[in-house]
Amino acid sequence: MDKLIITGNGPLDGEVWASGAKNSALPILAATLLADEPVTIGNLPHLQDITTTLELLGRMGIEPVMGEKMSIQIDGSQVRDSHAPYELVKKMRASILVLGPLLAHFGTADVSLPGGCAIGSRPVDLHIRGLEAMGADIRVEGGYIRARVDGRLKGATIFFDTVTVTGTENLLMAATLADGTTTLENAAREPEVVDLAECLIAMGAKISGHGSDTIVIEGVERLHGCHYDVMPDRIETGTFLVAAAATGGRVRVRNTRADIMEAVLSKLEEAGGKITSGEGWIELDMQGRRPRAVNIRTAPYPAFPTDMQAQFVALNAVAEGTGTVVETIFENRFMHVQELNRMGAHIALEGNTAVVTGVERLSGAPVMATDLRASASLVVAAMVAQGETLVDRIYHIDRGYECIEEKLQLLGARIRRVPG
Ligand SMILES: CC(=O)N[C@H]1[C@@H](OP(=O)(O)OP(=O)(O)OC[C@H]2O[C@@H](n3ccc(=O)[nH]c3=O)[C@H](O)[C@@H]2O)O[C@H](CO)[C@@H](O)[C@@H]1O
Ligand SMILES: C=C(OP(=O)(O)O)C(=O)O
C-alpha cells in the first residue's frame, strides 16, 4: 500500500488547477448507459473511482474509447450484461448509480448492495422505493438488488424523506426514459446534480427545475449521443484553499468556479482568508496570518458540504480559538479526529459534534487514512506540523484527488509518495 511522507514546510504559495469533479463524473458516466449512441465525456479526472467505473462498464460489455484531453467515448448500446458485481461495488459505493440507467434502458439490473462504509451506514432504500414507485419489480436477495420492469418505467411523483444526492441522480436518470412525467420532490440541489441534468439535456432529455428542490422530468423514447465536459471539482478546490489557509499561505486555484462554493468561501473569509475570484479562478491569501477557528454545521447544498468537514477540522486544529463542528449528514464521519489528536490536536468529540481548540503547532506522526476526506485532512495537518508525517492507506485519497502530491509540490509542499 502506497504511503505519503509529508514534512511541514511553511506557507503554501502558487497556482494549481482543479480537476473535473469526481461526484459529477461518476453519475455522468452512468448516464451514458441511457443513450443508444456514443457519448463523449470531457474533463474527466484521473482517479481510482473513474477507473473502477470504466471497469464496471467494461464488465457490461462496453469498450470505452479514450480521446484527447481526458475525454472518453462510451457507447451504451454495447451493453450485453446489466450486472454490477460485489467486487467492484464494494470498492466504490457510487456504482449504485448504474441501477436507474440500466433498468430504464434495458428493463433489468442486478446491482450488488453497496453496504455501509467508514463514514456511516449509507442505505439505498430511497433509490429502491423511488424505482418501485415508477413500476419496477425489485427484490433484494443474496446481497443484490434485482430490478425488473416490463416495458418502460412509468412517470411518478416521488418525495424523498431525506435529501439524497445519488438517490436524486438515480431517479433523475431513470425518469428520462420513463413513460410520462416524473416529479422529484425534496430533491438534492447539489451542483453535481445540476451538471448531470445538463448532460442529460444535451443527450435529449426533457428536464426542468434542476438546482431547486423540485425536478420535473418528461420521459422521452430515446436519448442520443453528445459531447459534455464535467464541471470543476468544488471539494478539491476547497481542499487546496483550506491548505493555503492552514499554512498561512497564498494559493490561486484555476479551472474552477466560485459561484458554487459560497458556504465554504464565506467560512474561509471568517477564518481570516482574503478571497478574490474571477472567471475560472479563486485565490485565498492569508498574508502570513494564523487562521481563526470557525463554527461549521454540515447540511445539504447550498449549506456547508459534509465533504469539506474533515478539512475544516484540520484547519481549526491549528487556528486561534475554539471552533465547533457539527456533522448532520453521516453518523460516523469523524474518524480523522483520533488521528489528528495523535498529531497533537485538541479535539473533543461528543456525538455528532467536534469541539476543536486550536494549538500553535501540530507534530508529525505516523497516521492512518480511513476515508477519502479524512485523508485530505491528515495531509493538510501534516503540512503545518513540525517534522515528518507518514500517511498510510492513501488508496482512499487516490479515489478523489488527482495527482495530489504533484499538485501540492507545485505549491511548495514537501510531500512524496512511497510505494508500500
Ligand atoms: C458519489 C457522490 O456523489 N457522493 C456524495 C453523495 O453521497 P450519497 O449520495 O451516497 O449521499 P446521500 O446524499 O445519499 O446521503 C445523505 C443522507 O441520506 C441518507 N440516505 C441516503 C439514501 C437513501 O436511500 N437512504 C438514506 O437514508 C444517508 O445515509 C445520509 O445520511 O452525497 C454525499 C452528501 O453530500 C457526499 O458526502 C458524497 O460525496
Ligand atoms: C464520501 C465521498 O464519496 P463517496 O460517496 O463516493 O464515498 C466523498 O467524495 O467525500
Binding site, residues?
22-23, 93, 122-126, 307, 329
- Per the CB < 8 A criterion, the answer to whether 274 and 284 are in contact is yes
323-334 tens-digit pLDDT: 999 999 999 999
Looking at the CA of residue 331, tell me the nearest atom of ligand 1.
31
The pLDDT confidence band at residue 1, using thresholds 50, 70 and 90, is confident
- The number of the ligand nearest the C-alpha atom of 238 reads 2
Q: What is the spatial distance between Cα 317 and Cα 403, in angstroms, rounded to a whole number?
A: 25
For residue 22, how far is its CA from the centre of ligand 2 (angstroms)? Answer: 9
CA of 329 to the centre of ligand 1 (A): 8
Q: Which residues line ligand 2 (CB under 6 A)?
A: 23, 93-94, 307, 372-373, 400
CA of 165 to the centre of ligand 1 (A): 5
* 117: confidence class by pLDDT, cuts 50, 70, 90: confident
What is the 350 CA–ligand 1 centroid distance (Å)? 22
Q: Is 226 a catalytic residue?
A: no
Residues 244-273 have a mean pLDDT of 98
Backbone angles phi, psi at 188, to 5 degrees: -70, 140
Ligand with minimal distance to 52 CA:
2
Of 135, 275, 286, residue with least CA distance to 219: 135
pLDDT (0 to 100) of residue 194: 98
**Annotated binding residues for UDP-N-acetyl-alpha-D-glucosamine:** 93, 122-126, 307, 329
Q: What is the pLDDT of residue 397?
A: 95
pLDDT band at 249 (very low <50, low <70, confident <90, very high): very high
Give mean pLDDT, residues 221-233: 98
**Which ligand neighbours the alpha carbon of 166 most closely?**
1
Ligand 2 atom closest to 165 (CA):
5
User: Hey, whose CA ends up nearest to atom 2 of ligand 1?
Assistant: 23
Average pLDDT, stretch 283-288? 96
Q: How far is the CA of 122 from the centre of ligand 1 (A)?
A: 7
Phi-psi region of 351 (alpha: psi -120 to 50; beta: other; left: phi over 0): left
Across residues 133-154, what is the average pLDDT?
97
pLDDT over 80 at 162, yes or no: yes
354, β-bridge pairs = 325, 349
Question: Hey, which of 166, 330, 331 would you mutate to test ligand 1's pocket, going by the most ligand atoms within 8 Å of its Cβ?
Answer: 166
The number of the ligand nearest the C-alpha atom of 373 reads 2
Mean pLDDT across 172-178: 98
* CA of 162, closest atom in ligand 1: 18
Cα distance from N-terminal residue to C-terminal residue, the chain: 4
What is the per-residue pLDDT across 3-57, written as a single tens digit (0 to 9) for each?
A: 999 999 999 999 999 999 999 999 999 999 999 999 999 999 999 999 999 999 9
Cα-to-centroid distance, 151 and ligand 2 (Å) = 33
Write down the pLDDT at residue 115.
75
Q: Which residues contact 399 (CB under 8 A, 6 or more apart)?
A: 22, 47, 48, 49, 92, 372
Q: Whose CA is nearest to atom 21 of ligand 1?
A: 164
Output the pTM of the full model.
0.98
Distance CA 100, CA 383 (A): 42
Q: How confident is the model at residue 70 (pLDDT cuts 50, 70, 90)?
A: confident
Q: Is the pLDDT of residue 116 over 80?
A: no
Atom of ligand 1 nearest to the CA of 305: 35
Atom of ligand 1 nearest to the CA of 129: 24
Among the listed residues 117, 199, 226, 403, the single catalytic one is 117
Interatomic CA distance for residues 116 and 94, integer angstroms: 12
**Residue 69 pLDDT level (bands cut at 50, 70, 90):** confident
Query: Could you give the ipTM of this predicted complex?
Result: 0.99
**Binding annotation for phosphoenolpyruvate:** 22-23
Taking 80 as the threshold, does the pLDDT of residue 311 lie above it?
yes
Whole-number pLDDT of residue 399: 93
Q: What is the pLDDT of residue 156?
A: 98
Counted residue by residue, the chain has a size of 420
Please state, for a pLDDT cut of 70, what percent of the chain lies above it: 100
Q: Whose CA is nearest to atom 32 of ligand 1?
A: 165
pLDDT at 420: 80
